[in-house]
Structure 1
Amino acid sequence: MTESSPPIDETPLRADALRNRERILAAADEVFLERGADASLEDVAKRAKVGIGTLYRRFPTRDALLGALCDERLLALAANSRKRDDVLDPGMSLRAFMVELATHASHYQGLAVLFGTMLKSHTTGCYAGAEEGRRLLQRAQKARAVAKNVSFDDLLYVITAASLAVEQGGPVKSRVTHLIDLFLDGIKMR
Protein backbone atom coordinates (compact mmCIF):
# COMPACT_ATOMS: atom_id res chain seq x y z
CA MET A 1 0.00 0.00 0.00
CA THR A 2 1.42 3.39 -0.91
CA GLU A 3 1.06 6.59 1.03
CA SER A 4 -1.64 7.80 -1.34
CA SER A 5 -3.53 4.55 -1.77
CA PRO A 6 -6.98 4.33 -0.20
CA PRO A 7 -7.54 2.35 2.96
CA ILE A 8 -8.45 -1.28 2.57
CA ASP A 9 -11.99 -2.09 3.62
CA GLU A 10 -12.13 -4.46 6.54
CA THR A 11 -14.44 -7.43 6.45
CA PRO A 12 -17.44 -7.07 8.75
CA LEU A 13 -16.66 -7.97 12.33
CA ARG A 14 -18.49 -10.58 14.36
CA ALA A 15 -20.71 -9.06 17.03
CA ASP A 16 -18.29 -9.90 19.87
CA ALA A 17 -15.31 -8.53 17.94
CA LEU A 18 -17.24 -5.34 17.20
CA ARG A 19 -18.09 -4.93 20.89
CA ASN A 20 -14.43 -5.43 21.81
CA ARG A 21 -13.37 -2.85 19.21
CA GLU A 22 -15.85 -0.29 20.55
CA ARG A 23 -14.77 -0.97 24.16
CA ILE A 24 -11.12 -0.56 23.19
CA LEU A 25 -11.82 2.74 21.42
CA ALA A 26 -13.86 4.10 24.35
CA ALA A 27 -11.20 3.03 26.85
CA ALA A 28 -8.39 4.45 24.72
CA ASP A 29 -10.17 7.80 24.49
CA GLU A 30 -10.52 7.92 28.28
CA VAL A 31 -6.96 6.80 28.98
CA PHE A 32 -5.40 9.12 26.37
CA LEU A 33 -7.43 12.09 27.65
CA GLU A 34 -6.26 11.34 31.21
CA ARG A 35 -2.62 10.44 30.55
CA GLY A 36 -1.78 11.51 27.01
CA ALA A 37 -1.29 9.69 23.71
CA ASP A 38 1.75 7.83 25.02
CA ALA A 39 -0.19 6.14 27.85
CA SER A 40 0.31 2.43 28.28
CA LEU A 41 -1.62 0.25 25.84
CA GLU A 42 -1.82 -2.32 28.63
CA ASP A 43 -3.81 0.28 30.62
CA VAL A 44 -6.10 0.72 27.62
CA ALA A 45 -6.66 -3.06 27.42
CA LYS A 46 -7.35 -3.25 31.17
CA ARG A 47 -9.82 -0.36 31.02
CA ALA A 48 -11.55 -2.02 28.05
CA LYS A 49 -11.59 -5.34 29.93
CA VAL A 50 -9.88 -7.16 27.05
CA GLY A 51 -6.56 -8.93 26.83
CA ILE A 52 -3.59 -7.11 25.32
CA GLY A 53 -3.60 -9.66 22.47
CA THR A 54 -7.16 -8.64 21.60
CA LEU A 55 -6.11 -4.99 21.49
CA TYR A 56 -3.12 -5.74 19.24
CA ARG A 57 -5.18 -7.96 16.93
CA ARG A 58 -7.54 -5.07 16.31
CA PHE A 59 -4.91 -2.28 16.47
CA PRO A 60 -1.41 -3.58 15.74
CA THR A 61 0.26 -0.24 16.55
CA ARG A 62 -0.37 2.82 18.71
CA ASP A 63 -0.69 4.83 15.47
CA ALA A 64 -3.44 2.49 14.25
CA LEU A 65 -5.33 2.93 17.53
CA LEU A 66 -4.93 6.72 17.44
CA GLY A 67 -5.94 6.75 13.79
CA ALA A 68 -9.14 4.87 14.57
CA LEU A 69 -9.89 7.28 17.42
CA CYS A 70 -9.42 10.27 15.13
CA ASP A 71 -11.29 8.85 12.12
CA GLU A 72 -14.66 10.55 12.56
CA ARG A 73 -13.14 13.93 13.31
CA LEU A 74 -10.78 13.75 10.32
CA LEU A 75 -13.60 12.68 8.00
CA ALA A 76 -15.66 15.65 9.19
CA LEU A 77 -12.73 18.06 8.79
CA ALA A 78 -12.12 16.86 5.22
CA ALA A 79 -15.82 17.11 4.31
CA ASN A 80 -16.13 20.61 5.80
CA SER A 81 -13.00 21.68 3.97
CA ARG A 82 -14.41 20.66 0.59
CA LYS A 83 -17.53 22.72 1.31
CA ARG A 84 -15.36 25.85 1.64
CA ASP A 85 -14.09 25.65 -1.96
CA ASP A 86 -16.72 28.11 -3.19
CA VAL A 87 -16.42 30.38 -0.17
CA LEU A 88 -12.68 30.78 0.45
CA ASP A 89 -9.81 31.32 -1.95
CA PRO A 90 -7.30 28.44 -2.20
CA GLY A 91 -4.78 30.01 0.19
CA MET A 92 -7.40 30.68 2.86
CA SER A 93 -8.87 27.19 2.43
CA LEU A 94 -5.45 25.68 3.05
CA ARG A 95 -4.94 27.93 6.08
CA ALA A 96 -8.31 26.99 7.60
CA PHE A 97 -7.63 23.28 7.15
CA MET A 98 -4.14 23.53 8.65
CA VAL A 99 -5.52 25.38 11.69
CA GLU A 100 -8.19 22.68 12.14
CA LEU A 101 -5.65 19.86 11.83
CA ALA A 102 -3.23 21.52 14.25
CA THR A 103 -6.03 22.08 16.76
CA HIS A 104 -7.10 18.46 16.39
CA ALA A 105 -3.50 17.25 16.77
CA SER A 106 -3.47 18.63 20.30
CA HIS A 107 -6.65 16.78 21.36
CA TYR A 108 -4.60 14.33 23.44
CA GLN A 109 -1.41 15.45 25.17
CA GLY A 110 1.40 14.00 23.07
CA LEU A 111 -0.70 13.36 19.95
CA ALA A 112 1.12 16.11 18.05
CA VAL A 113 4.36 14.14 18.08
CA LEU A 114 2.62 11.17 16.46
CA PHE A 115 0.25 13.08 14.19
CA GLY A 116 2.19 12.92 10.91
CA THR A 117 2.81 9.19 11.28
CA MET A 118 -0.77 8.60 12.38
CA LEU A 119 -2.08 10.33 9.25
CA LYS A 120 -0.26 7.66 7.25
CA SER A 121 -1.96 4.81 9.16
CA HIS A 122 -4.45 4.28 6.30
CA THR A 123 -7.61 4.41 8.35
CA THR A 124 -10.49 5.94 6.45
CA GLY A 125 -10.32 9.25 8.32
CA CYS A 126 -6.53 9.51 8.19
CA TYR A 127 -6.60 8.83 4.47
CA ALA A 128 -9.32 11.47 3.95
CA GLY A 129 -7.42 14.04 6.04
CA ALA A 130 -4.14 13.47 4.23
CA GLU A 131 -5.76 13.50 0.79
CA GLU A 132 -7.63 16.70 1.58
CA GLY A 133 -4.40 18.33 2.72
CA ARG A 134 -2.69 17.30 -0.52
CA ARG A 135 -5.63 18.54 -2.59
CA LEU A 136 -5.66 21.91 -0.83
CA LEU A 137 -1.91 22.30 -1.21
CA GLN A 138 -2.08 21.59 -4.96
CA ARG A 139 -5.00 23.98 -5.31
CA ALA A 140 -3.11 26.74 -3.44
CA GLN A 141 0.01 26.12 -5.54
CA LYS A 142 -1.99 26.27 -8.76
CA ALA A 143 -3.48 29.59 -7.61
CA ARG A 144 0.08 30.79 -6.85
CA ALA A 145 -0.82 31.32 -3.17
CA VAL A 146 1.88 28.84 -2.08
CA ALA A 147 5.33 28.20 -3.52
CA LYS A 148 5.68 25.13 -5.77
CA ASN A 149 8.49 23.64 -3.66
CA VAL A 150 6.27 23.17 -0.58
CA SER A 151 5.30 19.55 0.06
CA PHE A 152 2.52 18.00 2.09
CA ASP A 153 5.17 16.73 4.51
CA ASP A 154 6.27 20.37 5.00
CA LEU A 155 2.71 21.19 6.01
CA LEU A 156 2.66 18.26 8.44
CA TYR A 157 5.87 19.48 10.07
CA VAL A 158 4.33 22.90 10.61
CA ILE A 159 1.06 21.45 11.88
CA THR A 160 3.05 19.28 14.30
CA ALA A 161 5.16 22.24 15.45
CA ALA A 162 2.09 24.42 16.02
CA SER A 163 0.41 21.62 17.99
CA LEU A 164 3.53 21.07 20.09
CA ALA A 165 3.69 24.79 20.84
CA VAL A 166 0.08 24.69 22.01
CA GLU A 167 0.91 21.81 24.35
CA GLN A 168 3.34 24.19 26.08
CA GLY A 169 0.44 26.42 27.09
CA GLY A 170 -1.64 29.29 25.87
CA PRO A 171 -5.01 29.58 24.18
CA VAL A 172 -5.17 26.79 21.63
CA LYS A 173 -7.09 28.38 18.76
CA SER A 174 -5.39 31.79 18.74
CA ARG A 175 -1.89 30.35 19.14
CA VAL A 176 -2.39 27.75 16.40
CA THR A 177 -3.82 30.37 14.06
CA HIS A 178 -0.91 32.72 14.72
CA LEU A 179 1.72 30.04 14.07
CA ILE A 180 0.03 28.79 10.89
CA ASP A 181 -0.25 32.40 9.64
CA LEU A 182 3.48 32.95 10.26
CA PHE A 183 4.32 29.86 8.22
CA LEU A 184 1.95 30.64 5.36
CA ASP A 185 3.33 34.18 5.11
CA GLY A 186 6.77 32.62 4.63
CA ILE A 187 5.74 30.28 1.80
CA LYS A 188 3.72 32.69 -0.33
CA MET A 189 4.72 33.05 -3.95
CA ARG A 190 6.77 36.20 -4.36
Structure 2
Amino acid sequence: MTEPPPVRPMRADARRNYDRLVAVATEAFLEHGANASLDDIAKRAAVGAGTLYRHFPTRQDLVGAVMEQWMQSVLDEAEPLLVADDPAQALDTWLRRLIAHVTVFRGLTAVLLPPEPGRESPGRVLHTTMHDLVARAQESGQIRGDIGMKDLLMLIGGITWACDSGKTVDTDKLVDLIMDGLRVLK
Protein backbone atom coordinates (compact mmCIF):
# COMPACT_ATOMS: atom_id res chain seq x y z
CA MET A 1 0.00 0.00 0.00
CA THR A 2 1.41 3.38 -0.94
CA GLU A 3 1.68 6.21 1.52
CA PRO A 4 -0.45 9.29 0.87
CA PRO A 5 1.57 12.28 -0.29
CA PRO A 6 2.75 14.55 2.53
CA VAL A 7 0.51 17.48 3.31
CA ARG A 8 2.15 20.72 2.26
CA PRO A 9 1.97 23.60 4.70
CA MET A 10 -0.36 26.43 3.71
CA ARG A 11 1.09 29.53 2.14
CA ALA A 12 0.99 32.56 4.45
CA ASP A 13 -1.80 34.27 2.47
CA ALA A 14 -3.86 31.07 2.38
CA ARG A 15 -3.40 30.65 6.16
CA ARG A 16 -4.56 34.26 6.73
CA ASN A 17 -7.65 33.66 4.58
CA TYR A 18 -8.39 30.39 6.40
CA ASP A 19 -8.04 32.00 9.82
CA ARG A 20 -10.14 35.02 8.79
CA LEU A 21 -12.88 32.76 7.42
CA VAL A 22 -13.01 30.75 10.66
CA ALA A 23 -13.13 33.94 12.76
CA VAL A 24 -15.89 35.49 10.63
CA ALA A 25 -17.82 32.19 10.55
CA THR A 26 -17.63 32.03 14.33
CA GLU A 27 -19.17 35.50 14.57
CA ALA A 28 -21.82 34.67 11.96
CA PHE A 29 -22.76 31.42 13.69
CA LEU A 30 -23.04 33.26 16.99
CA GLU A 31 -25.37 35.82 15.41
CA HIS A 32 -27.44 33.60 13.12
CA GLY A 33 -26.86 30.00 14.16
CA ALA A 34 -25.52 27.21 11.99
CA ASN A 35 -27.50 28.29 8.94
CA ALA A 36 -25.70 31.61 8.51
CA SER A 37 -25.18 32.50 4.86
CA LEU A 38 -21.87 31.20 3.51
CA ASP A 39 -21.82 33.93 0.87
CA ASP A 40 -22.22 36.53 3.62
CA ILE A 41 -19.35 34.92 5.54
CA ALA A 42 -17.10 35.16 2.46
CA LYS A 43 -18.05 38.84 1.93
CA ARG A 44 -17.47 39.72 5.59
CA ALA A 45 -14.08 37.96 5.45
CA ALA A 46 -13.23 40.01 2.32
CA VAL A 47 -12.59 36.92 0.21
CA GLY A 48 -14.35 35.50 -2.79
CA ALA A 49 -16.77 32.59 -2.56
CA GLY A 50 -14.19 30.47 -4.41
CA THR A 51 -11.68 31.02 -1.61
CA LEU A 52 -14.25 30.00 0.99
CA TYR A 53 -15.16 26.82 -0.92
CA ARG A 54 -11.51 25.99 -1.64
CA HIS A 55 -10.84 25.92 2.11
CA PHE A 56 -14.26 24.58 3.12
CA PRO A 57 -15.96 22.61 0.31
CA THR A 58 -19.08 22.09 2.44
CA ARG A 59 -20.88 23.89 5.26
CA GLN A 60 -19.96 20.87 7.38
CA ASP A 61 -16.25 21.56 6.81
CA LEU A 62 -16.61 25.17 7.96
CA VAL A 63 -18.74 24.20 10.98
CA GLY A 64 -16.15 21.55 11.82
CA ALA A 65 -13.33 24.12 11.76
CA VAL A 66 -15.28 26.45 14.05
CA MET A 67 -16.15 23.59 16.40
CA GLU A 68 -12.54 22.37 16.46
CA GLN A 69 -11.38 25.81 17.58
CA TRP A 70 -14.23 25.98 20.11
CA MET A 71 -13.44 22.51 21.44
CA GLN A 72 -9.80 23.45 21.97
CA SER A 73 -10.76 26.54 23.98
CA VAL A 74 -13.09 24.46 26.16
CA LEU A 75 -10.38 21.86 26.74
CA ASP A 76 -7.82 24.56 27.58
CA GLU A 77 -10.20 25.83 30.27
CA ALA A 78 -10.72 22.29 31.61
CA GLU A 79 -7.05 21.41 31.95
CA PRO A 80 -6.42 23.12 35.31
CA LEU A 81 -9.75 21.81 36.63
CA LEU A 82 -8.62 18.21 36.10
CA VAL A 83 -5.93 18.70 38.79
CA ALA A 84 -7.71 21.17 41.08
CA ASP A 85 -7.55 20.64 44.84
CA ASP A 86 -11.35 20.63 45.21
CA PRO A 87 -12.80 18.13 42.69
CA ALA A 88 -16.45 19.01 43.42
CA GLN A 89 -15.78 22.72 42.90
CA ALA A 90 -13.87 21.85 39.71
CA LEU A 91 -16.91 19.91 38.44
CA ASP A 92 -19.20 22.82 39.37
CA THR A 93 -16.95 25.26 37.46
CA TRP A 94 -16.77 22.91 34.45
CA LEU A 95 -20.55 22.51 34.28
CA ARG A 96 -21.06 26.27 34.31
CA ARG A 97 -18.41 26.82 31.63
CA LEU A 98 -19.70 23.95 29.51
CA ILE A 99 -23.27 25.24 29.59
CA ALA A 100 -22.07 28.75 28.73
CA HIS A 101 -20.04 27.43 25.79
CA VAL A 102 -22.70 25.09 24.44
CA THR A 103 -25.47 27.67 24.61
CA VAL A 104 -23.38 30.25 22.75
CA PHE A 105 -23.24 28.13 19.59
CA ARG A 106 -26.90 27.29 19.24
CA GLY A 107 -27.64 24.84 16.49
CA LEU A 108 -24.03 24.13 15.55
CA THR A 109 -23.69 20.74 17.16
CA ALA A 110 -26.90 19.60 15.49
CA VAL A 111 -25.37 19.99 12.02
CA LEU A 112 -22.14 18.17 12.77
CA LEU A 113 -21.86 14.81 11.08
CA PRO A 114 -19.93 11.92 12.64
CA PRO A 115 -16.24 12.78 12.77
CA GLU A 116 -13.87 11.74 10.03
CA PRO A 117 -11.59 8.83 10.95
CA GLY A 118 -8.78 10.12 13.12
CA ARG A 119 -10.67 13.26 14.21
CA GLU A 120 -12.15 13.65 17.64
CA SER A 121 -15.72 14.85 17.83
CA PRO A 122 -16.43 17.70 20.25
CA GLY A 123 -19.04 15.58 21.99
CA ARG A 124 -16.66 12.70 22.60
CA VAL A 125 -13.89 14.96 23.93
CA LEU A 126 -16.27 16.87 26.19
CA HIS A 127 -17.79 13.62 27.45
CA THR A 128 -14.34 12.26 28.35
CA THR A 129 -13.41 15.46 30.18
CA MET A 130 -16.67 15.49 32.14
CA HIS A 131 -16.24 11.79 32.96
CA ASP A 132 -12.79 12.49 34.42
CA LEU A 133 -14.09 15.40 36.50
CA VAL A 134 -17.02 13.36 37.82
CA ALA A 135 -14.76 10.39 38.63
CA ARG A 136 -12.35 12.63 40.61
CA ALA A 137 -15.22 14.16 42.60
CA GLN A 138 -16.71 10.73 43.29
CA GLU A 139 -13.34 9.27 44.32
CA SER A 140 -12.87 12.19 46.73
CA GLY A 141 -16.20 11.32 48.36
CA GLN A 142 -17.62 14.78 47.62
CA ILE A 143 -20.36 13.69 45.23
CA ARG A 144 -22.61 10.66 45.08
CA GLY A 145 -21.22 7.52 43.48
CA ASP A 146 -24.55 6.45 41.98
CA ILE A 147 -24.68 9.28 39.44
CA GLY A 148 -23.70 8.22 35.95
CA MET A 149 -22.58 10.23 32.97
CA LYS A 150 -25.88 9.57 31.21
CA ASP A 151 -27.76 11.17 34.12
CA LEU A 152 -25.55 14.23 34.17
CA LEU A 153 -25.57 14.62 30.40
CA MET A 154 -29.37 14.49 30.39
CA LEU A 155 -29.50 17.26 33.01
CA ILE A 156 -27.01 19.41 31.08
CA GLY A 157 -28.84 18.64 27.84
CA GLY A 158 -32.10 19.83 29.41
CA ILE A 159 -30.53 23.11 30.45
CA THR A 160 -28.95 23.73 27.03
CA TRP A 161 -32.20 22.79 25.27
CA ALA A 162 -34.08 25.30 27.43
CA CYS A 163 -31.50 27.98 26.60
CA ASP A 164 -31.70 27.12 22.90
CA SER A 165 -35.48 27.50 22.96
CA GLY A 166 -35.13 31.25 23.44
CA LYS A 167 -36.52 31.29 26.95
CA THR A 168 -34.77 33.15 29.77
CA VAL A 169 -32.98 30.53 31.85
CA ASP A 170 -31.14 31.07 35.13
CA THR A 171 -28.37 28.56 34.39
CA ASP A 172 -26.52 29.35 37.63
CA LYS A 173 -29.56 28.40 39.70
CA LEU A 174 -30.00 25.18 37.73
CA VAL A 175 -26.33 24.21 38.17
CA ASP A 176 -26.68 24.97 41.90
CA LEU A 177 -29.62 22.52 41.98
CA ILE A 178 -27.60 19.87 40.13
CA MET A 179 -24.61 20.26 42.43
CA ASP A 180 -26.86 20.16 45.53
CA GLY A 181 -28.28 16.87 44.24
CA LEU A 182 -24.81 15.48 43.53
CA ARG A 183 -23.13 16.36 46.82
CA VAL A 184 -22.78 13.72 49.50
CA LEU A 185 -24.64 14.79 52.63
CA LYS A 186 -22.47 14.72 55.72
Q: TM-score under structure 1 normalisation? A: 0.66
Mark the structure with the bigger radius of gyration: 2
Gap change, CA 1:42 and 1:77, over 3 Å in 2: same
* SS of corresponding position for 2:74: helix
| Aligned mates of 2:163, 2:18 — CA distance in 1 | 31
Q: Are 2:163 and 1:166 equivalent residues in the alignment?
A: yes
2:22 counterpart of 1:34: no
Amino acid at match of 1:136: L
Paired residue for 2:148?
150
State the one-letter code of the partner of 1:64. Answer: G
Partner of 1:181: 176
Report the CA distance shift for 1:23/1:146 in structure 2 as closer, same or farther (over 3 A). same
Which AA in structure 2 matches 1:34? E
Give the fraction of aligned pairs with identical amino acids, expressed as a percent.
Answer: 28
1:67–1:123 Cα contact (<8 Å) kept: no
In structure 1, stretches of 5+ residues that fail to align are 1-9
Residue aligning to 1:75:
75
**C-alpha deviations, 1:26-66, integer Å up to 9, x for none?**
21022113212332444434433243532425985455133
2:12 to 15, 38, 56: 15
Supply the AA of the counterpart residue of 2:172: T
1:133 equivalent in alignment to 2:130: yes
One-letter code of the match for 1:132? T
Kept in 2: contact 1:71–1:123 (CA 8 A): no
Task: Give aligned pairs, total.
Answer: 171
| Equivalent pair of 1:74/1:126 in contact (CA under 8 Å) | no
* 1:68-109 C-alpha deviation (Å, 9 max, x unpaired): 3414531331134246x12x2x22221110111101112234
> CA-atom RMSD, angstroms?
3.7
Where does residue 65 of structure 1 map in the other structure? 65
Decide whether the 8 Å contact of 2:22 with 2:62 is kept in 1: no
- Give the unaligned 5+ runs of structure 2: 1-6
In the alignment, the residues of structure 2 paired with residue 132 and residue 46 of structure 1 have an alpha-carbon distance, to the nearest angstrom, of: 37
Q: Which residue of 1 aligns with 2:91?
A: 94
Quote the Cα distance in structure 2 between the aligned partners of 1:149 and 1:63: 33
Please give the alpha-carbon distance, in whole angstroms, between the structure 2 residues aligned to 1:45 and 1:123.
27
Report if the CA contact (8 A) 2:30-2:105 is conserved: yes
